[in-house]
């Protein structure tokens, strides 16, 4: 039995806890939060044996074998590094940190510890996305010409004008850390390394520090191009749409619902025959749980536990998380300078791990 401790009482309670509990090899034995009394109450209600008001106590508890983290980016590095120093596998959130320096310290410590260290990039666990990846790799639409991503939603933090990491770049979040970190990961997963990009970041009218919107253009190492327009300030927005345009056709992943994970439809248009065809993809677990994130995170949790038992690779790992941090850093430098920024070669992230 792998005994897991979770740091974080919000996402950690609503998503990580049920996702890990779906695997019988795992027992969630501890929960840590910043409010000891609230954490104790949540732990009692959830049937978790131990509760801590300090992450250090959880990480250093001898009954905890592995640690899952659900904290803001600025707080995550210290937790992850300490757990890894103790030889405990870590399941971390995106983005890894608030800056490249802290992200690199996490990657370095994971390399030294030589225990599984994963990042919670969920989209690639969706059945429709995996089918799209298979079709792209099989050359269904031919050589990729360009990709267009539009993602328009109104998230809770923006709707309520909450000032925390999801809306503030100083805490490692804002629109890049909260949303586009996912996009950077899945774009390279689908299409290969991003070689260069330009970015503009926008706040709300009269509140430029409330970072909610971005527009990016980028070039892949393959020579294909792309654009991304993302806003968390779009009331009744159009949803999440990824369009792949190739020499021989086009592929579309479209979700017009307000659920981040559920609702994606996959369609393909081929030159021969000239018609738009819906690709039927079913996931029996997609609507099984109250939160659409639980099912894809449970797939990652299973892979994490497999990696602990030596049966699989911890992917996506800290190398992939560090790569996303490089792209976030490049986007911020592009915005600040008003210039196109060449991104580091993807292999640099892998070299740092060795």
Domains, the chain, in order of start with CATH, read: 2-122+296-318 (3.40.50.720), 126-289+324-342 (3.30.360.10)
pLDDT of residue 351: 38
pLDDT band at 272 (very low <50, low <70, confident <90, very high): confident
Taking the mean position of all CA atoms in its chain, how far away is CA 158? 19
- In this predicted model, which residue has the larger pLDDT, 282 or 280? 280
Give the pLDDT score at 54.
94
The mean-pLDDT minimum among 110-119, 179-188, 276-285 falls in 276-285
- Which stretches within the chain are classed as H helix? 11, 17-21, 36-46, 55-60, 76-85, 100-113, 127-137, 156-159, 174-175, 181-191, 294-308, 318-337, 347-353
Is the confidence at residue 286, as pLDDT, over 80?
no
Give per-residue pLDDT as tens, 14-38.
Answer: 999 999 999 999 999 999 999 999 9
- The count of other CB atoms within 10 Å of the CB of residue 44 is 12
Name 110's Cβ contacts closer than 8 Å, sequence gap at least 6. 80, 84, 90, 117, 317, 318, 353
Percent of the residues in the chain that have a pLDDT greater than 70, as a whole number: 97
């Amino acid at each position: 039995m792998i005994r897991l401790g979770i740091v974080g009482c919000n996402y950690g309670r609503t998503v990580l806890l049920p996702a890990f509990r779906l695997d019988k090899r795992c027992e969630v034995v501890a929960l840590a939060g910043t409010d000891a009394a609230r954490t104790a109450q949540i732990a009692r209600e959830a049937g978790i044996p131990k509760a801590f008001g300090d992450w250090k106590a959880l990480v250093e508890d001898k009954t905890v074998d592995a640690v899952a983290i659900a904290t803001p980016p600025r707080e995550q590095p210290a937790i992850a590094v300490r757990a890894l120093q103790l030889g405990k596998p870590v399941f971390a959130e995106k983005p890894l940190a608030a800056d490249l320096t802290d992200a690199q310290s996490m990657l370095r410590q994971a390399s030294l510890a030589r225990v599984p260290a994963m990042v919670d990039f969920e989209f690639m666990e969706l059945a429709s996305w995996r089918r799209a990846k298979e079709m792209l790799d099989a050359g269904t639409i031919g050589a990729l010409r360009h990709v267009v991503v539009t993602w328009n939603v109104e998230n809770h933090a923006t709707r309520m004008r909450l000032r925390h990491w999801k809306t503030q770049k100083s805490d490692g979040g804002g629109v890049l850390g909260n949303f586009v970190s996912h996009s950077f990961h899945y774009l390279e997963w689908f299409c290969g390394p991003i070689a260069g990009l330009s970015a503009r970041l926008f706040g709300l009218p009269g509140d430029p520090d409330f970072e909610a919107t971005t527009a990016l253009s980028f070039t892949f190492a393959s020579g294909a191009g792309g654009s991304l327009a993302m806003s968390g300030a779009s009331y009744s927005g159009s949803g999440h749409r990824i369009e792949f345009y190739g020499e021989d056709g086009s592929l579309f992943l479209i979700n017009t619902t307000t659920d981040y994970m559920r609702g994606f439809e996959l369609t393909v248009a081929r030159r021969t025959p000239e018609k738009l065809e819906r690709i039927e993809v079913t996931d029996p677990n997609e609507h099984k749980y109250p939160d659409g994130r639980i099912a894809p995170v449970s797939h990652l949790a299973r892979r994490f536990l497999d990696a602990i038992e030596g049966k699989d690779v911890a992917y996506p790992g800290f190398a992939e998380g560090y790569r996303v941090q490089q792209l976030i850093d490049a986007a911020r430098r592009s915005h600040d300078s008003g210039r196109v920024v060449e991104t580091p070669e993807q292999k640099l992230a892998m070299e740092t791990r060795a």
